[in-house]
Amino acid sequence: MKPDTPCVYVGDELARYGFGEGHPFGPDRLGAFWQQACAVGLDRQVRQCAPVSVERAVIERFHTPDYVETVIRQSATGEGYLDCGDTPAFPGIYESACYVVGSVLDAIERILDGDGRQAFVPIAGLHHARRDRAAGFCVFNDCGIAIETLRRQHGLQRIAYVDIDAHHGDGVFYSFEQDPDLSFADLHEDGRYLYPGTGRETETGAGVARGTKLNIPMEPGADDAAFLEAWERVEAFIDAARPEFILFQCGADSIAGDPITHLRYTPAAHRYATQQLLRLARRHCAGRLLAMGGGGYNRGNLALAWTAVVQVLVSG
Ligand SMILES: [Zn+2]
């Protein structure tokens, strides 16, 4: 296997992060993706990596100890909600969420060590969780923990976060709103029509970080042509930021036919975004690009979109 073969994380520990059969975020999502990936031969072209867990202290690089304690407690009983009604607890939810975070951090280590310059973690990109609470199916914000870890453990400073999930990445945006070294670009369905209701064009960062965040709300029904037009701004923005590492939340719920959103892209949008981010990663940071699956509740859509992302990582 060539040293720059991309890493893809698959395994039951990661699949188990889901809220039960029949739930939009069910435990069958990883399997739906991997079946498609294998059908086109990707299983032989990527470095398959087993999910990895983490210690509590790692979670607390981003989350408050009180919140982590709450998750551990509710994970033991499996009862109640971790937020106001979107994110139910289930027995072992803490352990499952730790595998999401650990796999993302393992991917970062492999990328920085040169053991694959790119990686994809399908069950990850849980961009709604705040430092002190769960939100929108997201228990621990692996994106936020990744940013803190890139800074504290790996000494990187300028990080880019790009998000094409239908929902605004509010948990990342507000946690780093005042951070001038986190370049944030997010294309999402206009918050007037979709959860979480945030991400207006005027939200560009706060204080010294003003201008380091790019929010582009898309009209319901926006198609690939609308995506491509908006994407040009994202690309120019990330290019100008000269990142040392690129995080990509490639949520598939922005594709036509998702049961809970109203955008109408095709997987070609995800393919194109990956191609362009890979180009930028090669220009600025030796190809360091980590893709995280994010949302996507139509199983056929997520299988095609995520497979397209990995195909680009494989073929360049
Ligand atoms: Zn979403």
**Residue type at position 159:** I
Cα(195) to centroid(ligand 1), Å: 9
- Please tell me the distance between residue 129's alpha carbon and the centre of ligand 1 in angstroms: 12
Q: pLDDT band at 114, cuts 50/70/90? A: confident
Q: Per-residue pLDDT tens for 128-151?
A: 999 999 999 999 999 999 999 999
Q: Where does residue 1 rank: exposed (0-12), middle (13-18), buried (19+ CB within 10 A)?
A: exposed
Cis before 259? omega within 30: no
Q: What is the pLDDT of residues 33-91, one digit of tens each?
A: 999 999 999 999 999 999 999 999 999 999 999 999 999 999 999 998 998 888 999 99
Per-residue pLDDT tens digits for 165-220: 999 999 999 999 999 999 999 999 999 999 999 999 999 999 999 999 999 999 99
Which one of the listed residues 63, 127, 128, 270 is annotated catalytic?
Answer: 128
Give residue 260's pLDDT.
Answer: 96
User: Measured in angstroms, how far is the CA atom of residue 196 from the centroid of ligand 1?
Assistant: 9
Model pTM score? 0.98
Enter the tokens of residue 153. Answer: 């453990």
Spacing, Cα 140 to ligand 1 middle (Å) = 15
- Between CA 207 and CA 188 the distance in angstroms is 24
Q: Which of 150, 147, 148 is nearest to 162 (CA)?
A: 147
Q: Residue 54 is encoded by which pair of tokens? A: 């983490």
134 Cα–ligand 1 center, Å: 14
Amino acid type, 217: P
Q: Which of 279, 206, 294, 295 is nearest to 243 (CA)?
A: 279
Q: Report the alpha-carbon distance of residue 45 to residue 315 in Å, rounded.
A: 9
| Catalytic residue status for 262 | no
Ligand 1 center to residue 146 CA distance, Å? 19
Identify the bridge partners of residue 163 per DSSP, sorted by sequence position. 186, 249
